[in-house]
A and B are shown apart, each in its own frame.
Chain A
């Protein structure tokens, strides 16, 4: 028995780029299914949307920074997306987050001005959009701050964070608070689950309040709940009688989990489908088109036919682009052509780990509209795109959001995908 499923569009990958593309497609009335090997980058990232922070000098306005980047580097993926579309995607995301599954939880910011917020090391990093739970940590609001850590959460060192904030000219100190926990060791998510509990939260505040000094904001690792973060923050601010803000942590990232839940909920509401654990392992081509992809399900393979495919499976970090032991770099999901691979006589790597590695700019070759070069019905979004240096530029989530958004626009602009497919 030959069984296969039929969709208008199949999106491969459930990170920010894939979920945004799928949600936008579903919102345009396109029957879409997301296939993902597992959960994507959201749970590992700070949950902020960083559009462009460094070029390499610090950038105050993403809009102006993008304009400069595009004139200097027209081959940058932002060049294919365009500033107007980045702006539109950010607006869409802010609206989507505000209508999301967390009452009152919203994002602030925009394309005009980067927000400066502390990272767990106490270094100020630049983001275009941040959750409102981080707002009181913005550089402009921050004069006196108490960074609160706990011995149970070893991934967050309050004294280190505070010491670096002091070097940035902020009056910062650190305190350590023992938590009421059943287990001595916990991650940020574990504390966030406790803070969702009103009684635990009350006891937490009662022990923290006497340790605070007048006029101080409170900076906590990002632990303000995974069920009702807006309420948790408001409650803490009322009980502690001061502004409270979150600082992103090492994984698991609580704001990142919320970001995933916002996008997953938007996708579900728009009628899109999501299949996790469904690694795409093969595909069929028909001329210049991908005809179907197959996933390895339990027991057998499942074939998904579609008119359109969006590759949002990530780059080197996810393993979707790989360098093998024969020094061959390849895209491993659909075997698409790559560009940006250093020539044989050029260095692929630099010696320092944190240097901009030349090979990391490799990605799937695309044309305008993010169409994979040589294929009529495949769009590429997110970290699979070539030419960017997200970690250096502070551009990863902005690229994921806006490229996912554009990939969907390109497809839905064809109006009736089924008719188009027949021509």
Chain B
């Protein structure tokens, strides 16, 4: 149960709605799915009829994928997506949350269980018979893009690296500790269990630019729980993470940097607004100090502090900014960074959404919608003749590769290569 008083600041923004319909024009779901009447109807309009302790008025709000585009485009500052997240939570509470949604919202459990038996898990996920079974028993769509376990955890090697005992691939020995600025690295669950190389690239690029990178032991940010309406568990998880990260922010200068744009958005804003945690001091500090890796690097470049010893990469790639990255409200810093790399031709894609929205597109009853949402992006990728797609968010990368067969990588992958920090020159994407 959310705190009604804390939610009231978000909710009261609906009074600014002038019914201009701009949110509806930009909603990726209502664009392709007529049964979702759109963010204005489901949000500011229906919200007026939602009364505490009375049943939810409209089940159609559950089609909302939580991408957040409606709030970004609203010219009046109405917190449409946040209002809808609350409405979804109320609906979920009323209907009950099933086994599937209790499993897929726990990346830490999944990672700990799956990592030691990665080979078996990965083969199982490729077995069509088992996937059909998982669809029937759990409701995870048989074709949905599930990530492969890396079989190792990012933090294990990272902590050894920090001790100086084990080198990380592409990362040189730490330089002298003098005059180095500290950053706390929030790597998120996907880097920990599925794509540890992304974390290694982030650390290498930061150290190349003279940062001391602190990697505290950390767990999930709670975003999957939040987006599936499990607010109580999400609060518990995010506050625990906030405590962990805040403990590293003793001075005024240290910031937190992350590569998972939806998880950093959770820390920056969504946990506070959607989970009504505005008053938690640790989360407030973490929220103010959290930066997306590309946001930080571009700001460094603008102040002349980013190393630009980039080697050419003679490739043509596409860039797609994920919805949750756009929710940072900082534009597309990755695009400007990629353009610094000599010979790299970057085609900016302008489709709204890939459809996956975290766990939304994994669900048997939502898979078709997610694929319909992603169709225009998939068409753009396939029509662009690129060799890979740069995209900041891991679930979007998996969905793009699923929809196009084109490999996808975090923008940091290209910067890491252009710095000459990686000699393998290969897109480490999970092609399916």
Contact = CB atoms under 8 A, between A and B. Distances in A.
Interface of A: 1, 3-6, 33, 36-40, 43-44, 181-183, 186-187, 189-190, 193, 251-252, 257, 265, 268, 273-279, 295-300, 302, 318-319
A190 B34 contact: yes
Contact of A299 (B35, B287, B300): B287
15 contacts: A1-B253, A3-B295, A3-B303, A6-B302, A37-B75, A39-B75, A43-B25, A189-B21, A189-B25, A251-B22, A265-B350, A277-B71, A297-B329, A299-B287, A299-B289
A38 B22 contact: yes
B118 interface: no
Interface in B339-354: 348, 350
B72 A38 contact: yes
A39 B69 CA distance: 11
Given A38-B72, A275-B331, A300 B21 contact: no
A268 B350 contact: yes
A299 B256 CA distance: 12
Interface in B284-298: 287-291, 295-296, 298
Contacts of B77: 37-38, 279
A294 to B, nearest CB: 12
Contacts of A277: 71-73, 326-327, 329
A384 to B, nearest CB: 15
A252 B72 contact: no
Contact of B35 (A5, A183, A251): A183
B330 interface: yes
Nearest to B324: A298
Given A5-B299, A38-B75, A277-B71, A43 B329 contact: no
B128 interface: no
Contacts of A6: 302-303
B251 to A, nearest CB: 10
B328 A297 contact: yes
Given A38-B75, A298-B269, A299-B267, A4 B22 contact: no
Contact of A298 (B75, B265, B332): B265
| 9 A-B pairs with least C-beta separation | A299-B268, A38-B75, A3-B299, A277-B72, A298-B269, A275-B331, A182-B34, A298-B268, A297-B329
Interface of B: 20-22, 24-26, 31, 34-35, 37, 71-77, 181, 253-255, 265, 267-269, 287-291, 295-296, 298-300, 302-303, 326-332, 336, 348, 350
Contacts, number: 116
Contact of A300 (B26, B34, B288): B288
Given A183-B35, A299-B290, A302-B330, 10 more contacts: A5-B299, A37-B76, A187-B24, A193-B31, A251-B22, A268-B350, A296-B329, A297-B328, A298-B269, A319-B76
Contacts of A40: 75
Nearest to B30: A190
Contacts of B350: 265, 268
Contacts of A39: 22, 25-26, 73, 75
B329 A3 contact: no
A2 B350 CA distance: 31
B269 A43 contact: no
B21 A43 contact: yes
A150 B312 CA distance: 57
A190 B41 CA distance: 14
Nearest to A3: B299
A276 B372 CA distance: 25
B61 to A, nearest CB: 15
Nearest to B41: A185
A3 B296 contact: yes
Contacts of A279: 77
A321 to B, nearest CB: 14
B302 A4 contact: yes
Contact of B303 (A4, A190, A265): A4
A257 B35 contact: no
Contacts of A295: 329
A1 B300 CA distance: 10
B39 to A, nearest CB: 12
A218 B37 CA distance: 29
B25 A257 contact: yes
A43 B22 contact: yes
Contacts of B25: 39, 43, 189, 252, 257
Nearest to A301: B288
A319 B298 CA distance: 32
A373 to B, nearest CB: 27
B75 A1 contact: no
Contacts of B255: 1
Contacts of A318: 75
A156 to B, nearest CB: 14
Contact of A251 (B21, B37, B254, B348): B21
B74 A38 contact: yes
B73 A38 contact: yes
A33 B336 CA distance: 12
B35 A182 contact: yes
Nearest to B181: A1
Contacts of A251: 20-22
Nearest to B286: A299
Contacts of A275: 329-331
Contacts of B296: 3
